[in-house]
Amino acid sequence: MNTFRRYEASGVPNYWLFDHHESELHTSDGTAEVNYTLPTEEMSVKYRGYYTAFTKDQISRTGDGYRYYSKRVLCTPTSVNDYCGYESLDLTNSMLYEYVAIGQYERDTQRVGDASSETMRYFLFGSDSAASEMLTSGSFTYETGIVTSHPDFDRVGSSSGFQGTGTLSVDFAAATLQATIPVKTATSIGGEPFDEDTFKLTGVITSKIRVTGDIVNADGKYAGKFVGGFYGPNGSQLGVVLRLVDASAPSRPHLIGFLVAKRK
């Protein structure tokens, strides 16, 4: 079991998220309320947003491979559309590290395409590394895992998207990072064959603890951005959320996902 630990030197937690059907990156740096309950090994994140489709006490179903639940409640009794959301995650998830975690939620009533499709979001949160403690020289290798939605099927669940593991190289002197990670779909859907691909990431370190950069697949059909940061002591862990878009069909659902990494 992985236990999420707050790195108190890091200050206020933060998170970013990408939406499956919106072009913008949603940011809430320093405004999310993150709470950790040690006895139940659960993490909850409170965020603020405009969700007309949610009922006051909607509980979404458990996600495959994520084992989480979510509850939406009105921020104020008099508000009609201003919702505060609470996302709670079981921290036995294998993709959770000590200082950084990834969550997922769906906006169930916003259907697109077939009846199984849903609007999905991944979000990233954790305990930031302290900028004053970050490394300023040397190159290091990080063990990396990546998960995305499926490019051809607008469905949620880890089995319908790309997954892969590999390594990511970080050069702290040059303030750069790069990785080439082979990925494949975990399950064939609708009689279609398994898909295999490669994601290449190149990025830069900003403000010592933030990262941003570009991501592209092997044939260049899908390209996009990633954003995230370092977490834990001395940047020992890294997390990003990412989005890729098919330039030839920009209106189709975006391929979104996350990457988490731990220094060897």
- Domain holding 182, by residue range, is 8-263
Considering the domain boundaries, does residue 233 fall inside one?
Answer: yes
Which of the four pLDDT bands, split at 50, 70 and 90, describes residue 208?
very high
Q: Which residues have a Cβ under 8 Å from the Cβ of 237 and sit 6 or more positions away? A: 97, 98, 99, 100, 126, 230, 231, 260, 261, 262, 263
As for how many domains the chain has, the answer is 1
Q: What is the CATH number of the domain that holds 168?
A: 2.40.160.90
Q: Is 44's pLDDT higher than 50?
A: no
Which of the four pLDDT bands, split at 50, 70 and 90, describes residue 190?
low
Average pLDDT, the chain: 64
Chain segment 113-145, per-residue pLDDT in tens: 333 334 555 666 667 788 898 999 999 999 988
Supply φ then ψ for residue 210, to 5 degrees.
Answer: -105, 150
Considering the domain boundaries, does residue 3 fall inside one?
Answer: no
Chain segment 8-30, per-residue pLDDT in tens: 332 333 333 433 333 334 443 33
Q: Is 56's pLDDT higher than 80?
A: no
Supply φ then ψ for residue 100, to 5 degrees.
Answer: -140, 140
Question: So what's the pLDDT on residue 146?
Answer: 87
pTM, two decimals, is: 0.68
